[in-house]
Chain A
Amino acid sequence: MTLKLIPVFIVVPFLLAIAIALCKNMARNIEKLIPLAGTAALFIFSLLSINSAFQALVYPIAGFAPPSGSPLVFDSLSVVFLLAINTVTFAVTLYSWHYVDSYGGGWKFFALLMLLLCGLNGVVLSGDVFTMYLFLELTSVAAYVLVAFGNRDIQLEAALRYLVLGAIASTCILLGIWLLFSYTGTFNIAEMSRSLQTFGASTLTRAALMLFIAGFGLKAALVPFHAWLPDAHTAAPAPVSAMLSGLVIKTLGLYALARILFNVIGLSEQAVAVLMLLALLSILAGSLLALKQTDMKRMLAYSSISQIGFIVMGLAIASPLGIVGALFHLLNHALSKSTLFLNAGAVEHATGTRDYAMLGGLKEKMPVTANTSMLASMSIAGVPPLAGFWSKLIIIIACVQAGYVNLAIFLAFASILTIAYMVNLQRRVFFGALKASLQETKEAPLSMACAMVFLAVTSIAAIALMFPTCSEALFANAQKVLSFGVNYAYVIVNAAGK
């Protein structure tokens, strides 16, 4: 990975979006071919950017060096997110090839998807809080429109709720940024962190911290702030639900929160206590509400809330092991939950319903969907030897090591709840006797099946990450970025000086 190539992740999706809009009438299916080729290239590129050396590359935009300019920062933590983002987006683009035909206006869908990708990559790569906010806003706007894409009444309602709560979240985040900017006089993450260390913590930074937790908590749908998520995930087209649940809530919520909390303000005891409380509430409420759902996608949406809780718990423990567990679980959840949302889309595409009561015995009619769904749900439920088991185990061990034994027991209990609702999904939809109304059901079209198999294979490949060599290559340095805390600023400043 060389310095000059960093902007590719942001520029390419943006150009793809423009290319789609310009070329849409030139050839048949061209609006699908362009994003597919582009995201495939970005996926391979993100694989190549994995680097086992600990390094932070600072790319000065327009040649302005950090204190005055706003740089792009590429480090080991960005790599983990870039990998998840570009893998899932490639699969989703492939899946949408046949799926969007039922909606019409396909080129708009793909152009918006590319803008979403541009925003996500931008959030992960920006080295200054204001640029991060702008990319966050770009992602959010693309997501609002994509949720409303079908233009049916429930989709418009879900988009309205998402937009209003998203606007409140943006205001909270901006107020936090404003407080920090008035205090330090800079937007650059490294500079900001250094001035905060010089001036020391004050009521002002604590106020900013609360605003950030509320704002990013809303974006990540942690429990008191989760009202928009089940509606938006249920109403959106299936590929968009997969993007929202797999990537958007993680990048906009968790990545941005972790970056600002760990590297700018610095972790305090109060912040850890608040995060743990939010994580506990999310895990408990998410799991219990998921148990009683009868709509496939709504169940998966509540399950996302509870899994986000696991990730936040790992981050809040803040020991190296806890952070590795959180990042590992984040990657697993991105891969498996997107697979499950794509499966739900395939079932809806084939049968016209997502309701448990109308479904049953689809295993013989839709073998690809059933098997990939089985694999992904077992991974999320934490059945060994799948990757989800190892990531949850690491988080639980980190809890015990940090002295929270009660918490570890609670987490183990919560993963049993996860198994319960995932098994319920499998039993009601894919197993049992085939319903008479479903006799004519056909397997999903080729592109959808390929995308589901691709994601299932990557979630099997993620098992390799429990072995020390692979785990160190991806997570060891990413963990250092967060556990260096505010001292990480000096790594960036040194890298920028080169």
Chain B
Amino acid sequence: MIVYCLALTLIALGIYGLLAKKNLLKIFFSVSFMELAVVLLFATAGYRKEIFSGKIEMSPLSESVAVTLLIAGLVITVVFAALVIRLKEKYGTFDITAMRKLKG
């Protein structure tokens, strides 16, 4: 149960960061939070306590999926980091309100 609470908190933090924060780095971390929360959920999805025997089982499928998701998340993180660096070079600031060349 505590894992679900943790994951939900992370997702809520991520959504809050995306909606409310103006700093590019904070948005970057918010996206990472959301990715990690989902990885956490997948890692625990295979965890099952047998009702009768009380034995704890782990499904190998969900673990391998969690590891794969970590790698997929890393790719997004790297691309996002590259974008953040380029934007910082162009504008000299992390403030996204300064990045308004597009009409929207």
Contacts and interface: CB of A to CB of B under 8 A. Distances in A.
A269 interface: no
B79 A144 contact: yes
Interface string B69-104: 100100110011001001100110000100101111
A159 B34 contact: no
A134 B38 contact: no
A137 B86 contact: no
A88 to B, nearest CB: 24
Interface in A145-181: 145, 148, 151, 153-154, 156-161, 163-164, 167-168, 170-171, 174-175, 178, 181
Nearest to A166: B76
B101 A154 contact: yes
A181 B75 CA distance: 24
B41 to A, nearest CB: 5
Output the residue of B11, B18, B38, B68 with the most chain A CB within 10 A: B38
Given A156-B87, A160-B87, A141 B68 contact: no
- Specify the main secondary structure of chain A where it touches its partner: helix
B23 interface: no
B34 A171 contact: yes
B36 to A, nearest CB: 11
Contacts of B18: 164, 168
B80 A163 contact: yes
A167 B14 CA distance: 11
B68 A134 contact: yes
A167 B42 contact: no
A137 B76 contact: yes
Interface residues of A, number: 32
A185 B59 contact: yes
Given A141-B75, A185-B59, A235-B102, A163 B69 contact: no
Contacts of B102: 154, 157-158, 161, 231, 235
B91 A153 contact: yes
B59 A137 contact: no
Interface residues of B, number: 34
Interface in B30-81: 31, 34-35, 38, 41-42, 45, 59, 61-62, 65, 68-69, 72, 75-76, 79-80
Contact of A178 (B41, B72, B90): B41
A280 to B, nearest CB: 23
A187 interface: yes
A170 B32 CA distance: 12
Interface string A254-269: 0000000000000000
A392 B103 CA distance: 31
A431 interface: no
Nearest to B32: A167
A170 B101 CA distance: 27
A182 interface: yes
A160 B65 contact: no
Contacts of A145: 79
A130 interface: yes
Given A157-B102, A175-B41, A137 B72 contact: yes
B41 A163 contact: no
Contacts of B86: 148, 151, 156
A178 B76 contact: no
Given A167-B31, A171-B11, A174-B69, A160 B83 contact: yes
Contacts of B75: 137, 141
A131 to B, nearest CB: 10
Contact of B72 (A134, A148, A182): A134
18 contacts: A130-B65, A137-B75, A141-B75, A144-B79, A144-B83, A145-B79, A148-B86, A156-B83, A156-B87, A157-B101, A157-B102, A163-B80, A171-B11, A171-B38, A175-B38, A175-B41, A185-B59, A235-B102
